[in-house]
Structure 1
Amino acid sequence: MATILCYGDSLTWGSVPNGGRYAVGVRWPTLLQEELGGTHQVINYGLPGRTTIWEDPFHEGRNGLAYIQAALETFGPVHVLIIMLGTNDLKRYFNVGAFEAAKGVEQIIHRARMKLEPGFPSPKIIVVAPPNITSPTGERAETFSGAVEKSQYFHQHFQNMAFANDVEFLNSAGILQPSEIDGVHLDVNGNQALAKELAPIVRKLLV
């Protein structure tokens, strides 16, 4: 039995677009485990607001780089690491774009490949470019001001970074759109689509 660690933000955690959290069986990491036939352990380590490398002044503990080694040692040995981060990097107060988000994921890859204290081997890695942000609503419209345009470049920069670092890549914008309710989070169909597309990539890495 292999361990697959899904390291992400609210899109992985399972935020419902109109508030709350999806039931366990609706979240894409759970659906991925089902797609794999239940023979492997898929761990959902999503956290709302998590960034790639940025310290959020309003939410403590959201720096993804700061916690990746602890996560790999806690749940290890991890055979496949799925990284899906970058959406929160586009919040207005970070003042960065998709290029910087991709560079942030690159730093997480480098940290994940460092020697782990228990002697665990480095995991194989899949990078998922987040879906394009469409029409943020409510408070998110202010928080993600300018992010709609910036998110259009996720695919390009994340793909280039993944190729340069020899990791698997999936462009989620090619298979799904965020919910029309808030323009950021995944709906039920989005969770299902992501799990189905990731399953064959994970299987290939576990051969």
Structure 2
Amino acid sequence: MKRRISTIANLVLQQKPKAFYDIGCGHGYLARELVQQNPSLVGVNSDISANALGAAKGLLKDHTNMHFITSDGFDLLPNLNLDPAVGVIAGLGGLKIMQILAQHNNFLKHFVLQPQSNIIELRRFLSANQWTITTETLVEERGFIYLVLAVDKTKAQTQYLTEEQMILGPHLVNFTDKQMLVKYYNGLLKNFTARLNPSQFDSQVIHVLNKIIKAYERS
């Protein structure tokens, strides 16, 4: 978990935030990492599980700038009016992340996302809802490869993704560790080829992934 937490924290801190909102904070490990690097940060830690939130409170008991709220998404989160503020949604499925981002009371313009599934659908949603993907990176931990994205809604120019960019990622294709990238794309390919009744779009995804994997293997 350390590598993944560190990667997410670094993307949050690149925004030089005054506050962060960890939505689905679990036991509070990300908040601990963030305040260790920047003790002045104000944090809102929320989770639908009161037990998880209790563990986070215990972990962060020495940090007075922390808030803890039992909430599903933005339902009960306060707008602290600290700018910039960065939201984090990590370890949830892509469909749940989309649901949270679409909530009418979402007041944040910067997010770091670490989806567990439905990556392509998430990119499609971001493109259709004026979110710009500014960073995509991969981190490998305990045999799994995780995608982490930074997105924002403050860019003057809206980012429209092509179908190929939705599949491969607008920035991920330039990831420097090509071996890890090919392993990640192969994992996606395995998921799509295992579908019993693939749709036309599934077939397109398989074609695009096969093409990029072969190109990297030849280079």
Sort the TM-score into its range (normalised by shorter chain).
0.3 to 0.5
Q: Which has the higher strand share?
A: 2
TM, length-normalised to structure 2: 0.32
Q: Which has the higher contact order (CA 8 A, sep 6+)?
A: 1
